[in-house]
Chain A
Amino acid sequence: MGLALFMVALLAILFYIFLNQKTLLHVISISSATLFMLIAFFLTRSVLRDGVIYSAGFFYLDALSAMILDIVLIIGWIASIYSVGYLETEVKTGKLEVSQIKLYYLLMAAFNFSMMLALTARSMGIMWIGIEATTLTSVFLVGFYNAKKDLEAAWKYVIICSVGISLALLGIIFLHLSSVEVLNGSHLLSWPDLFANAADLRSSILKLAFIFTLVGFGTKAGLAPMHTWLPDAHSQAPSPVSALLSGVLLNTAMYGIIRTAAIVNKNLGSSSYTGHLLIAIGVLTMLISAISMLTQKDYKRMLAYSSIEHMGIITVAIGIFSPAAIWGAFFHMVNHSLTKSMLFFASGDIYLHYHSKKIANVKGLLQALPLVGTVFFLGLFAIAGVPPFSIFASEFSIIAAVFDGGHLFLGAFLVLLLAVVFVAIALVLFKMFFGKEGSTEPSVAGNVSGEVMLVVMLVMISVGGLYLPDQLIQLISQAQKLIIGG
């Protein structure tokens, strides 16, 4: 069943290579994304029933990877539908050609493939290969429009992330070194085996391994001070790509950190070593992003900085490593993904209408684009952590877990930073809703398929704050137990 994911992806890539008709490309994109969702549904159901799935030696799926895989595939499905309208509008205005659509879908499929590989690999080595491949497959999506700024963003992205991820490989090598006396044969580097035998690994080398994986995957996850590529890449990419980069890829990188932290914590018998590092780096990330957000002039950059901030929150929660904090971190991953990708989709529609990413050039958003404007407005409240949206629920549970763990100052400081972020969003982005739109030229017909998806996502994040389906609760709890190792 799990291998079907890769077969569908490869088949889709083959189709993209040989087909040239625009409509056919759209159809294949949507149908492959739908198939992925169906497969993910069945996989998740069996994970909920059996705990873990092994197959073919290298395929491994447990509750944590199933949860993140579900996020990837659900947002991938929404992006595939949104992309149809987005690309059609860009073709109509003459900014893209049909051959570029083909390239876009091809790269998207490869990008999805690499994320699925990273999330379903049993070996930490293969997981590293998948995460490294996500950079290589998405670099041309970041520089898709080939203008000077796009190329600059793409170059920074590929160079900084490649160096970062090489350091993660050094971490994986040290992880391997710490286990050579314990594991052998096909068990080498396999996560479930490493975790099961964690107590016998060599602690001093494991500590070193954790630092390198934290810096390496942290670069990909946008943790400060290695975050500098992220605002550029996420703001220059076409909006559906930004949604995937922010909503999905950051989680995939975070997944690498969580897996390593779980092994190290189990080996050391306490979370204080990883905790100190993670909390320090998480708070620094939140601080830098909160300050940067106050001075932004570009709405997509603003959203990118907000992604950095949320990754900081998740990092702090993983650093606390109590059951409640881990639960909050995983729940926050789900919520942040949905909310942030919704905002990036909406920002794409705003860009299609105003042809500018500058906040100063966007005026009277609610009159000009009533539906997109409303979604963007409510989405901003949601991302800032206002009830009743789901981000509030998860942020609240993380902060509560921080206070419960006895970290009073840390908790108070986090609340302060969240307040700064709220002020920044209100000060900087709410300007877009005031005033009147300057030009009255009729814009091209909007992205209808995208707007439908925006409403669907808005419903999801609104309902998520008040009610959660039992399956999701069960999945997150299962993932939490797995990582805590109880």
Chain B
Amino acid sequence: MDYYFTVLSTLILFTAFLLIANKRPDSYIKTFRAQSLLLALTTAIMGTHNLFAEGHYDVMVVCLLIIILKVIYIPNLLQKTQANVAYVVEKDFFSSIPLLVILCCGIVAFTYFTLISMEGMDAGPVNIQLVNSVSVILIGLLFMISRKRAIGQIIGLLVIENGLYITGIFATHGLPFIVDLGIFIDLITAVIVLAMMVFKLNDEFSSIDTNKLKKLRG
């Protein structure tokens, strides 16, 4: 099973790289959907294992929730939001894409050397999986600061959340079920709140470029 997890965590890291290289909000949303699908696959493998080995079905429920929320509902909601505010085509990244990709490689190397040097972390496959998943969190952060439009920042936040989730899965085989459930409720509320904020920003500023938010300083 560890072999599958290593492959999947690498694929999830790969989608994070893909995301950083995306230029348009539509492609961000597609990449996010693909990443969530991989997430669901990982959870499904874990869930089947738990079901047959220990008789717990709660990881399967979480997997179902991921498919409903992260693969279907949230990307659709974001696509709808994007369609409603996207009448101006704006360039949406600060520095050049190759530079950002090189920075991402740096992030992975940094995470690798930080985690490998820590005593008490399990050696071997778990460590590689952790390196991959913590890198996804940091790449999500980089993505957030490299994009100007509100949609990009929301996707960044969601990728950070995906990274957190797989870190939880790989490191500890999942948080307690009730906590996972609560995190999902929080996540869905957060996305709805952010989507509403995007509409309000668009109404008031006629744009969702967050560089225009400059009134409050000091």
Residues of A within 8 A of B (CB): 58, 123, 125-126, 128-129, 132-133, 136, 139-140, 143, 146-149, 151-156, 158-159, 162-163, 166, 169-170, 172-174, 176-177, 180, 188-189, 202-205, 208, 231-232, 235-236, 292, 295-297, 301
Contacts and interface: CB of A to CB of B under 8 A. Distances in A.
A154 B183 CA distance: 22
Interface in B192-218: 193-194, 197, 200-201, 204-205, 210, 213-216, 218
Given A152-B213, A155-B150, A166 B161 contact: yes
Given A143-B200, A155-B210, A176 B183 contact: no
A217 to B, nearest CB: 15
Contact of B186 (A132, A154, A177, A292): A132
27 contacts: A125-B182, A129-B186, A139-B197, A140-B193, A146-B200, A147-B204, A149-B215, A155-B201, A156-B213, A158-B190, A158-B197, A159-B144, A163-B141, A166-B157, A169-B183, A170-B134, A170-B167, A173-B168, A173-B172, A173-B175, A174-B171, A176-B172, A189-B175, A204-B121, A205-B121, A231-B216, A296-B218
For chain B, the bracket of interface size reads 35 or more
Contacts of B193: 136, 139-140, 158
Contact of A203 (B120, B171, B205): B120
Contacts of A295: 218
B55 interface: no
B189 interface: yes
B200 A162 contact: no
Most buried by A among B120, B194, B214: B120
Contact of B182 (A126, A166, A297): A126
B175 A125 contact: yes
B36 to A, nearest CB: 16
B178 interface: yes
Given A125-B176, A136-B186, A173-B172, 16 more contacts: A123-B178, A123-B179, A126-B178, A133-B189, A155-B210, A158-B193, A158-B194, A158-B197, A173-B164, A173-B168, A176-B175, A177-B171, A188-B175, A189-B179, A204-B121, A205-B118
A288 B210 CA distance: 25
A55 B6 CA distance: 41
Nearest to A298: B218
B149 to A, nearest CB: 12
A189 B216 CA distance: 40
A152 B216 contact: yes
B119 interface: yes
A129 B176 CA distance: 13
Most buried by A among B186, B200, B214: B186
A58 B178 contact: yes
A356 B87 CA distance: 36
A151 B168 CA distance: 34
Contacts of A180: 172
Nearest to B205: A148
A236 B216 contact: yes
A151 B194 CA distance: 12
Nearest to A202: B120
Tell me the dominant secondary structure on chain A's binding face.
helix
A180 B204 CA distance: 49
Contact of B213 (A133, A155, A162, A297): A155
A73 to B, nearest CB: 23
B153 interface: yes
B104 interface: no
B71 interface: no
Interface in B68-89: none
Contacts of B167: 170, 173
Nearest to B174: A176
Contacts of A163: 141, 144, 157, 160
A261 B213 CA distance: 36
B190 A136 contact: yes
Contacts of A128: 179
Interface in B142-183: 144, 150, 153, 157, 160-161, 164, 167-168, 171-172, 175-176, 178-179, 182-183
A140 B218 CA distance: 23
A305 to B, nearest CB: 10
A231 B217 CA distance: 9
A290 to B, nearest CB: 14
A148 B179 CA distance: 36
Contacts of B189: 133, 136
Contacts of B108: none
A155 B197 contact: yes
A125 B185 CA distance: 13
A125 B178 CA distance: 9
B46 interface: no
Nearest to B171: A177
Nearest to A110: B189
Nearest to B214: A152
A202 B161 CA distance: 25
Nearest to B150: A155
B60 interface: no
Nearest to B173: A180
B137 interface: yes
Contacts of A236: 216
Interface string B107-130: 000000000001111000000000
Nearest to B181: A129
A232 B161 CA distance: 26
Contacts of B161: 166
A176 B176 CA distance: 9
**Which 4 pairs, one residue from A and one from B, show the smallest C-beta to C-beta distance?**
A125-B179, A129-B182, A204-B120, A152-B213
Contacts of B218: 231, 292, 295-297, 301
Contacts of A155: 150, 197, 201, 210, 213
Contacts of B171: 173-174, 176-177
Given A125-B175, A126-B179, A232 B201 contact: no
A301 B215 CA distance: 14
B186 A146 contact: no
B118 A204 contact: yes
Contacts of A202: 120
A153 B150 CA distance: 14
A148 B197 contact: no
